[in-house]
Amino acid sequence: MNDYETISQMEPEDTITRPMLVSDIAEGRLLLTDGETEISALIFDREFKNKGIKKDSVADVTITLKATDEQKKYFVENISPCTDPEQSAKNYYIKFSDISIGTTFTRPVIIIDMTEKKDKSGNPYTELTICDGFSNVTARKFKTSADSLEKINVRKDGIARAKLTAGEFNGAKNFTCEDITALENDSPLTVNAFVRVPPVPLNVMYDEIYSVLKSLDKKLFGKYDSIAELTLKILEANKESYMTSSAAVSNHHNLKGGLLYHSYRMMKAADALCGVYTSLDRELMICGAVLHDIGKLWEYNTSILGGAEFTENGVLFGHLYMGASYIKESAKDGNYNKEKLRMLMHMIVSHHGNQEWGAVVFPATAEARMLHMIDDMDAKMYSFEDNYNLMEEGTVTKEKIKNLDTNIYKPSIMRKDILIP
Binding segment (CB under 5 A) for Fe ion, from list 96-104, 215-223, 370-378, 400-408? 370-378
State the nearest-atom distance from the C-beta of 345 to Fe ion, in Å.
Answer: 14
Out of 34, 56, 299, 375, point to the residue binding Fe ion (CB under 5 A): 375
Burial class (CB in 10 A: 0-12, 13-18, 19+), 136: buried
Binding segment (CB under 5 A) for Fe ion, from list 185-193, 287-295, 298-306, 331-339? 287-295
State the nearest-atom distance from the C-beta of 376 to Fe ion, in Å.
Answer: 9
State the nearest-atom distance from the C-beta of 259 to Fe ion, in Å.
Answer: 8
Separation of alpha carbons 128 and 114, rounded Å? 5
Q: Do you know the residue count of the chain?
A: 421
The residue (of 39 and 259) whose beta carbon lies closer to Fe ion is 259
What number of chain residues touch Fe ion (CB under 5 A)? Answer: 2
Separation of alpha carbons 141 and 116, rounded Å? 10
Binding segment (CB under 5 A) for Fe ion, from list 201-209, 292-300, 365-373, 411-419? 292-300
Nearest 5 degrees, angle CA 401-CA 406-CA 411? 90
Separation of alpha carbons 110 and 190, rounded Å? 9
The residue (of 229 and 293) whose beta carbon lies closer to Fe ion is 293
The residue (of 229 and 375) whose beta carbon lies closer to Fe ion is 375
The residue (of 112 and 248) whose beta carbon lies closer to Fe ion is 248
Q: Does residue 299 interact with Fe ion by CB under 5 A?
A: no
Separation of alpha carbons 186 and 192, rounded Å? 16
Binding segment (CB under 5 A) for Fe ion, from list 209-217, 272-280, 286-294, 341-349? 286-294
State the nearest-atom distance from the C-beta of 294 to Fe ion, in Å.
Answer: 10
Binding segment (CB under 5 A) for Fe ion, from list 47-55, 79-87, 285-293, 389-397? 285-293
State the nearest-atom distance from the C-beta of 262 to Fe ion, in Å.
Answer: 6
Residue 388 CA, chain-centre distance (Å), reads 14
State the nearest-atom distance from the C-beta of 352 to Fe ion, in Å.
Answer: 6
State the nearest-atom distance from the C-beta of 373 to Fe ion, in Å.
Answer: 12
The residue (of 164 and 248) whose beta carbon lies closer to Fe ion is 248
The residue (of 132 and 375) whose beta carbon lies closer to Fe ion is 375
Angle between helices 338-350 and 282-291 (to 10 degrees): 50
State the nearest-atom distance from the C-beta of 323 to Fe ion, in Å.
Answer: 8
Binding segment (CB under 5 A) for Fe ion, from list 55-63, 297-305, 333-341, 368-376? 368-376
Binding segment (CB under 5 A) for Fe ion, from list 8-16, 220-228, 274-282, 367-375? 367-375
Share in percent of the chain as helix, strand, coil (round to 5): 35, 25, 40
State the nearest-atom distance from the C-beta of 269 to Fe ion, in Å.
Answer: 12
The residue (of 182 and 377) whose beta carbon lies closer to Fe ion is 377
The residue (of 90 and 292) whose beta carbon lies closer to Fe ion is 292
H or E stretch at 351 = none
Kindly provide the b/e burial profile for residues 303-324, where b requires at least 16 CB atoms within 10 angstroms of the residue's own CB. eebbbbeeeeebeebbbbbbbb
Instruction: Report yes or no: 246 and 308 within 8 Å, Cβ to Cβ.
Output: yes
Out of 56, 132, 229, 293, point to the residue binding Fe ion (CB under 5 A): 293
Residue 99 CA, chain-centre distance (Å), reads 18
DSSP code string of 122-157: S-EEEEEEEE-SS-EEEEEETT--HHHHHHTT--TT
Residues 240-259, interacting with Fe ion (CB under 5 A): none
Separation of alpha carbons 81 and 51, rounded Å? 7
CA distances from 369 to 265, 285, 350, 365 (A): 17, 10, 8, 6
The residue (of 34 and 375) whose beta carbon lies closer to Fe ion is 375
The residue (of 283 and 375) whose beta carbon lies closer to Fe ion is 375
Separation of alpha carbons 196 and 147, rounded Å? 26
The residue (of 11 and 356) whose beta carbon lies closer to Fe ion is 356
State the nearest-atom distance from the C-beta of 298 to Fe ion, in Å.
Answer: 13
State the nearest-atom distance from the C-beta of 263 to Fe ion, in Å.
Answer: 8
Angle between helices 258-274 and 366-388 (to 10 degrees): 130
- Using CB under 5 A, list all residues that contact Fe ion: 293, 375
